[in-house]
Amino acid sequence: MADDYQRVEAHDCPMSTCAAPAGSPCRTTKGRVAIQYHTARFRLVPQLAKALNVPVPPVRKPGTAWVELPRPAGASAEPVGHVRIGYARASTARQSLDTQLDSLHEHGITRVFSEKISTRATKRPELEKAVTLAREIRASGVRVTVVVHEHKRLGRGIDLATLAEDLKAGDIGLEFLTGELKGSHDPSGVVFTVLAALSGMEREYIRDRTLEGHESARTRGKSIGGASVTDDAMLAMALHLRGQEMSLRDIAAKLVITTGKKKGQHPSPATVMRMLREHNDQTAQAAVAGGE
């Protein structure tokens, strides 16, 4: 819609590399007006939360030198009101949610999402609903906090850190009623910063262990991985989309596997990252060889 950009620009961009204030378009790391708004920013708008990308309109002159524009009236106003949304989870059907639900109700939480699902599950429908609702309410100008009995109910390690990153992007607070992280935590606070750091450390640890395992397997003459789901056409499209500063997740959502058992499906963001990284490595090696 023609006024989508105005809805997006009603919010500051959460991306630290951009940080465009309300009223201004997003910017690139090279100080130019971006050709599309950063995902973390346009998803603050409920109507655009599921969009793959939102282009910056011609009126903002994408590609030109970025300058800060006047903030719209009321954009800097403090949030009005405060909504607390509860979440409870048990790992198995036999476990009871009563303790968590009672604790949430005792603390005045009336809107609670709950489910019985393993920590290992990659998707938690009720948690996703809670976060979606929180984003929608926050976009209306109301302060929002997701409240959980204990941080372990949200997940552990990289899962918890990734969720914290999503909440921070939406300017949504966290509150734990008990446990090691008991208390209320602002998105700009130390807990979010620590969780983000832990997320990066754990990703790096997993990557290093994986590479060590691959190298060990190669020395024993074992092949690594299954049939490739990427091809030259997919790489070309991925490079084009990367040039538009799209995230790996959004790039993956636009690509389609054309052969093999996964034909018709989208590749994972990790697959896209690996494909682009291998392309970068090959390009760098070719440049070095050409200069010799």
Q: Where in the sequence numbering do the catalytic residues fall?
A: 91
Residues 6+ apart with CB under 8 A from 64: 32, 33
For residue 184, the SS3 value is strand
Structure tokens at 49: 């939360």
The distance in angstroms from the start CA to the end CA of the chain is 53
Report whether 116 contacts 103 (CB < 8 A): no
The distance from CA 284 to its chain's CA centroid, rounded to whole angstroms, is 29
Radius of gyration over every alpha carbon of the chain, rounded to an integer in angstroms: 22
- Our measurement of the distance from residue 230's CA atom to the centroid of its chain's CA atoms, rounded to an integer in Å, reads 24
Other beta carbons within 10 angstroms of residue 124's beta carbon come to 21
Identify the sign of the CA torsion 249, 255, 260, 263: positive
- Tokens at 255, concatenated: 């690509």
In whole angstroms, give the CA distance from residue 28 to residue 66.
8
Q: Note the maximum CA span of the chain.
A: 72
Q: What's the gap between Cα 57 and its chain centre?
A: 24
Q: Angle, nearest 10°, between helix axes 232-243 and 269-291?
A: 90
